[in-house]
Chain A
Amino acid sequence: MTMPASRTLMPGGGVARRPLHFIVVADCSGSMLGQRMQSLNLAVAEMLSHLAAWERDQLQAQVMVRVLAFATRPVWHVPEPVGVSELHWKPLQAIHPKAGSSEVGQTNMGPAFREVAAALGPDRLESRALRPAILLVTDGKPTDRAGEFEAGLASLMSFPAGRSSLRLAIAIGDNARSEYLDRFIGDPSIPVLLADNSDEVAERLVAVSIAVSRMSEEGADREALAKQILGPGSGQPPGAFDRETIV
C-alpha cells in the first residue's frame, strides 16, 4: 500500500505513467567508423534530449530507452530500459567480430532483430505498456547469410509487441537505402529516412523523436502522422520539434 507525500492512502502499488519502450538498433559495423559514428553519437544524444523534453510535456507516457549496437554480432549498449531523462549517453563504438580483434564488423541485421525480439517477447513488457518503437540506423545493406535477415525479422514479428511496434529506419549514405529497410518497417505509409551527411543524421533523428512521440499517443492516426512528420515535403527539422505539435 503506498502513501505518497500529500496524498491519501492508495490501494495497490501507486500510479505511474504507461511505459513507452524505445529501442535504438544502431549499425556499428566497419563502414560506420570515423565521422559517421561520431555524427550518429551526437545525433542520438540530441534525439534523446528531445524525447526527454516531450516526456516532460505530455501526459501519458514514460519513455524507456534501450540501445542495441550491431555489426557481425549484436551487443547491447544500453541493455536494460532506462528512463530517457535519466540516460547519460555513452558514445557507441565499432563492434569487432571477436573481442580484442581489430577486424571490422559486418552488417548482420538478422541476429540484431532476434535480440530485439527476445527483449519484446512474452512477459518481457508490462501489460500496460504502449506499443514499443524500434529505430534501425544503418549505412549499409544487410550482410547476413541467406535467410538470416528474414529469419530475424520473422522472429521479431512472431510476438504481439514486435508486430505492433512502430518501426522506423534511417539510412545513412547512398548505399543504405534498400528494400530491406522497407521490409523492416513493414508499413508503406512510413518511409525510410535518408541522411547524406552529419547534419541530416541529426535532423532525421529529431524527426524520429517526434514520430515516436506523436504516433504512440492514444488514438494516433499513424498514416497521417507519417506523412506529416516523415513524408516528402514534410518540412522536417531543424525547427520541426515544437511543443504545440506533439502535446
Chain B
Amino acid sequence: MSTRTLEALPWRVLWASVRGASHEATDTPNQDAVKSRAIDVFGRGALVVAVADGHGHWRHFRSRSGSRLAVDVACQSIDSFSQDLMAIDRVDELEAFAERVLIPNIIQAWKAAVASDVESTPFTRDEEELQTNFHDGPESAYGSTLLVSVSWGRWVLLLQIGDGDIVGLLPGGEVLLPMPVDPTLDGHHTTSLCQSDAAKVFRVSVIDQAVKTLFGILMATDGYGNAQAIDEWEPAVASDLVALIRDHGTAWVANQLPDWLAQCASSEGSGDDTTAALLVAEMEGDAKWRNANAETVKIVTPDGTSSSPEKDPSGTSGHRRQDGHPGEKRSVIQ
C-alpha cells in the first residue's frame, strides 16, 4: 500500500484491480486498467481518474494494451486542456467543451498511441490475416471501454464509452446515477474506443456540487456490477459505502477494497476482471477521513505497489501533476 500527498484537492481516490477467475483459468491477463492524475492549474487542483476495460473477445487480442493506453491518454488529454476546462463555469459549456474538445482529443490520442504500439510491436502474420478476414482496423485489436472523472472546485465532469458503472454517492447514503443510459449496452456487447463513431457514443455528465453535493464517486468496470447479487445494486452499494466510510474511515475501506473486488472477480461472482476506483470527497467537519493519516489522496493497489509520482517536465505551463497508476510488479494489475 502506498500513500501520497496532493495539495488543494478535497478528494481521495482509492482503487484496486483484480484479475477475473475466468482469466486466471485461461491464463489470460487482467485486461483492466486504472490511473489517476492530480493537476494543479495556478493553485487550483483537479483530479483525473480513468478506468478502462479491454474487451475479452479474441478479435480484440491486444485489449490489455488498449486499456492501458486509454487511461494514459485520458489523463494526458485532460491535463493538456485543464486550463481551458477549469476556466468554464457553466454546465452546458462544460458538456459542450467535453464533446467538442476533450472526447475527440482522447480518441485521437488513443488511436495515435495504438499506431505507435503497432509500429513498435507489429502484428504477426496470423493477426494480420485475422484482421483482414474480419475487415478490422488496427484499433480493433486494442478495443477498450473508458470511464473518466475530472473533479475540481464545485465541478465533476464524467465521460464514459462502453459498459461499466459510474455511481454517485450522496452524503445521506442515497445514490446518484449521473450517466445517461445507453440502450445499446445489452450485457453482451459494448461500445468501444475502437469503433469508427466512438465520439458519437461517448456519454457525458456534469455534476454541479453547488446543486448536488457528492460524498463520493464509484467508478467500476463491468466485472463489479455483473457480480452483484441484487439486480439494481447501486442504491444498496451506495448506502453501504457511505455508511462504511463514515463508520470506519477511508483507510479501512482502502484496506477492504481489494478483498471486495476479489469476491466480485471470483468464481462466486462475475469471474471477470474487476477494477474499481472510489473517490471520496472531503467535507468540512466530516469525520469520514479519520484514520486516514494526513494525506489528501491515498492510492491503494492490491499488493501495495505504486509508481512514483511523476512531475511534469515542462514545469512552465502553470500546472504540475502527480500521477498514480498500478505498479508493474503484479500481473493482476494491468
Contact = CB atoms under 8 A, between A and B. Distances in A.
A164 B243 CA distance: 39
Contacts, number: 94
A12 B256 contact: no
B256 A160 contact: no
A59 B236 contact: no
A8 B229 contact: no
B25 A247 contact: yes
Contact of B269 (A11, A15, A247): A15
Given A18-B226, A129-B187, A221-B58, A11 B260 contact: yes
Contacts of B230: 12-13
Interface of A: 1, 7-18, 58-60, 126-131, 160, 164, 218-219, 221, 247
B231 interface: yes
B228 A12 contact: yes
B22 A12 contact: no
B81 interface: no
A129 B226 CA distance: 8
A17 B270 contact: yes
Interface string B233-264: 10011001101100000000000100110011
Contacts of A10: 240, 260, 263
A17 B271 contact: yes
Interface residues of B, number: 38
Contact of A17 (B186, B233, B259, B268): B268
A18 B270 contact: yes
B22 A127 contact: no
A173 to B, nearest CB: 34
Given A15-B227, A18-B226, A218-B272, A128 B240 contact: no
Given A8-B256, A12-B237, A17-B268, A219 B58 contact: yes
B57 interface: yes
A15 B264 contact: yes
B58 to A, nearest CB: 6
B21 A59 contact: yes
20 contacts: A1-B243, A9-B244, A9-B256, A10-B260, A11-B244, A12-B228, A12-B233, A13-B230, A14-B229, A15-B268, A15-B270, A16-B228, A17-B268, A17-B270, A128-B187, A128-B231, A160-B186, A164-B188, A218-B56, A219-B55
B188 A131 contact: yes
Contacts of A11: 236-237, 240-241, 244, 260
Most chain B C-beta atoms within 10 Å of own C-beta, residue among A18, A131, A164: A18
Contacts of A58: 22
A162 to B, nearest CB: 12
A13 B233 contact: yes
Most chain B C-beta atoms within 10 Å of own C-beta, residue among A13, A59, A127, A247: A59
Contact of B259 (A8, A12, A221): A8
Main secondary structure of the interface of A (DSSP, over half): loop
B228 A128 contact: yes
B209 interface: no
A129 to B, nearest CB: 7
Interface of B: 20-22, 25, 55-58, 186-188, 225-233, 236-237, 240-241, 243-244, 256, 259-260, 263-264, 266-272
Given A129-B187, A219-B57, A15 B259 contact: no
A142 to B, nearest CB: 29
A12 B269 CA distance: 13
Contact of A15 (B20, B55, B243, B266): B266
A8 to B, nearest CB: 5
Given A16-B227, A60-B270, A127 B187 contact: yes
A146 B231 CA distance: 40
Nearest to B25: A59
B244 A59 contact: no
Nearest to A10: B260
Contacts of A127: 187, 231-232
A133 to B, nearest CB: 13
Nearest to B24: A59
Most chain B C-beta atoms within 10 Å of own C-beta, residue among A1, A60, A126: A60
B283 to A, nearest CB: 20
B256 A130 contact: no
Contacts of A59: 20-22, 25, 267, 271
A128 B243 CA distance: 26
Contacts of A12: 228-230, 233, 236-237, 240
Given A11-B244, A12-B236, A13-B233, 14 more contacts: A1-B243, A11-B241, A11-B260, A15-B268, A17-B268, A17-B269, A59-B22, A60-B267, A127-B187, A127-B231, A128-B228, A160-B186, A218-B272, A221-B58
B245 to A, nearest CB: 10
A17 B266 CA distance: 9
A164 B189 CA distance: 10
A4 to B, nearest CB: 8
B174 to A, nearest CB: 14
A7 B267 contact: no
